[in-house]
Amino acid sequence: MMNAIPFNKPHLTGKETKYMLEAVQTGKLSGNGEFTKRCQQFFEERYGFKKCLLTTSGTDALEMCAMLCDLKPGDEVIIPSYTFVSTALAFLREGAKVVFADSMKRNPNLDAETIESLITPRTKVIVPVHYAGVACDMDKIMEIANRHNLLVVEDAAQAIDSYYKSPMTNYKSLMPLGSIGHLAAFSFHETKNITAGGEGGLLVVNDERFIRRAEIIWEKGTNRAEFFRGEVNKYGWVDMGSSFLPAEINAAFLWAQLENLDEIQSKRKSLWETYYKLLLPLADKGYFSLPDIPEYASDNAHMFYLILPDLDKRTALIQHLKDNGIMAVFHYLSLHSSAYYQDKHDGRDLSECDRYADTLVRLPMYYDLEIEDVEKICKLISVLYVK
């Protein structure tokens, strides 16, 4: 048996503890210190986001998005069923009704062609989830949203350093994911391309209407940020909010990762391309399908997945890899089929979501994985099919 290869392993650049110590020595540990400001400025300058606020998790960033949408009980929010539970929970907590959309046939992203049929007079928000860091059809989604006066919240949890190439400009316009909707949320969980020390997230505000309230919600419902900028002579409780900002040591950890973002991305893309090249001959023979990258999307190498023909074949592949020391895993269960939500689902057919729930398998993907490891994994997969 080859040496065990885990599904994920957080990468350390070597400067995380140095910067965390620096943060401790400043005496400013509770957040919104120098490293927090550095990280937020990085995202604003590199990707053109109007306003960025670090959060304790991607879930918290989504919850801030939901609060900023100012939803009323019964308002409807369209999200894909094939996503993580946080996408739905953030809006359910605000009293909204979640309306699940199906995935595309070509990849797990929300099928923009189905959105129009889901809109009612109560619809307020569309939440595209950029699965595996691959862009949804944002031209179509934004056109629908603008026509119906809806907000768009990009769930970009997996989409750091990934782009949308607009067909409206003949694919010449590169727009960072998270910069297109009114609001966006990123995750820096340890399974993501970069991490803030295990957990972390980012709220992105692209619509100036929401910037002031976002700062207030971020600071527990107070106008504390304005006070520290000298814009008011005292601060107090002015709105709803919570303790969304992370500790400064998490921001320091994230800064070490951001300094090495280009190197991290280059290595991950090399691994992704190796997987694709070595597994393409098996995909061409119909044993499975490889990840689909539409012409309007870039690939940030967040994930490498396979789509098997059915559940039994996926189970067999996962077990075969596990028996040989390789940890491959499936991903989401459709939210509409979950124990919590199934009795609330309206019965609409969401068969593509269910298909991905039964057939998608994720292969190991992390910075410290080596090309030789990918070659071993691909050879092992080949053994299962080529007798």
- What would the pLDDT profile of 104-163 be if each residue is shown by its tens digit? 999 999 999 999 999 999 999 999 999 999 999 999 999 999 999 999 999 999 999 999
Within 10 Å of residue 37's Cβ, how many Cβ atoms? 12
8 is a domain residue: no
Which of 214, 233, 258 is the last residue in one of the domains?
258
The angle at the Cα of 85, spanning 156 to 261, to the nearest 5 degrees, equals: 30
SS3 (DSSP) at 247:
coil
Residues 349-370, mean pLDDT to the nearest whole number: 97
5 is a domain residue: no
When the pLDDT of each residue in the chain is averaged and rounded to a whole number, the result is 95
What's the confidence (pLDDT) of residue 348? 84
Q: Are residues 38 and 139 in the same domain?
A: yes
Q: Are residues 242 and 292 in the same domain?
A: no
pLDDT for residue 349 is more than 90? no
- 3-state SS, one letter per residue, for 93-124: CCCCEEEEECECCCCCCECHHHHHHHCCCCEE
Residues 194-205, mean pLDDT to the nearest whole number: 97
Nearest residue to 202 via CA among 225, 189, 186: 186
**In terms of pLDDT, which residue wins out, 153 or 31?**
153
What's the confidence (pLDDT) of residue 234? 64
Q: Are residues 218 and 277 in the same domain?
A: no
Whether the Cβ atoms of residue 203 and residue 185 lie closer than 8 Å to each other: yes
If residue 58 lies in a helix (H) or strand (E), which one and from where to where?
helix 58-68
With a pLDDT cut of 90, the percent of the chain lying above it is: 86
Burial of 28 (0-12, 13-18, 19+ CB in 10 A): middle
Residues 360, 357: Cα–Cα separation, whole Å: 6
136 is a domain residue: yes
Q: Are residues 289 and 238 in the same domain?
A: no
CATH number, domain of 303, equals 3.90.1150.10
What's the confidence (pLDDT) of residue 233? 63
Which domain range does residue 381 map to? 261-385
Neighbouring residues of 299: CB distance < 8 A, sequence distance ≥ 6: 133, 134, 162, 269, 272, 291, 293
1 confidence band (pLDDT: 50, 70, 90): very low
Residues 199, 254: Cα–Cα separation, whole Å: 10
Residues 99, 198: Cα–Cα separation, whole Å: 31
Q: Are residues 294 and 202 in the same domain?
A: no
Q: Are residues 331 and 243 in the same domain?
A: no
1 is a domain residue: no
359 phi, psi to nearest 5 deg: -125, -10
CATH number, domain of 48, equals 3.40.640.10
Number of domains the chain is built from: 2
DSSP class of residue 292 equals: P
115 is a domain residue: yes
pLDDT for residue 2 is more than 60? no
What residue type is 6 in one-letter code? P
7 is a domain residue: no
Q: Are residues 237 and 265 in the same domain?
A: no
Q: Are residues 160 and 45 in the same domain?
A: yes
Q: Are residues 268 and 224 in the same domain?
A: no
Burial pattern 210-241, b for ≥16 Cβ within 10 A else e, equals beebbbbbbbebbbbbbeeeeeeeebeeeeeb
Residues 183-207, mean pLDDT to the nearest whole number: 97
Which of 258, 274, 308 is the last residue in one of the domains?
258
6 is a domain residue: no
For strand 174-176 and strand 183-187, is the pairing parallel, antiparallel, or unpaired?
A: unpaired
4 is a domain residue: no
The angle at the Cα of 311, spanning 309 to 317, to the nearest 5 degrees, equals: 80
Q: Are residues 327 and 306 in the same domain?
A: yes
Helix 248-258 and helix 261-284: axis angle, to 10°?
Answer: 70
Neighbouring residues of 13: CB distance < 8 A, sequence distance ≥ 6: 256, 257, 259, 260, 264
Strand pairing partners for 361?
A: 306
Q: Are residues 243 and 161 in the same domain?
A: yes
Q: Are residues 148 and 235 in the same domain?
A: yes
SS3 (DSSP) at 15:
coil
Residues 41, 20: Cα–Cα separation, whole Å: 18
What's the confidence (pLDDT) of residue 378? 98
Residues 71-106 pLDDT 10s: 999 999 999 999 999 999 999 999 999 999 999 999
pLDDT for residue 370 is more than 90? yes
If residue 360 lies in a helix (H) or strand (E), which one and from where to where?
strand 360-363
Which of 258, 277, 295 is the last residue in one of the domains?
258
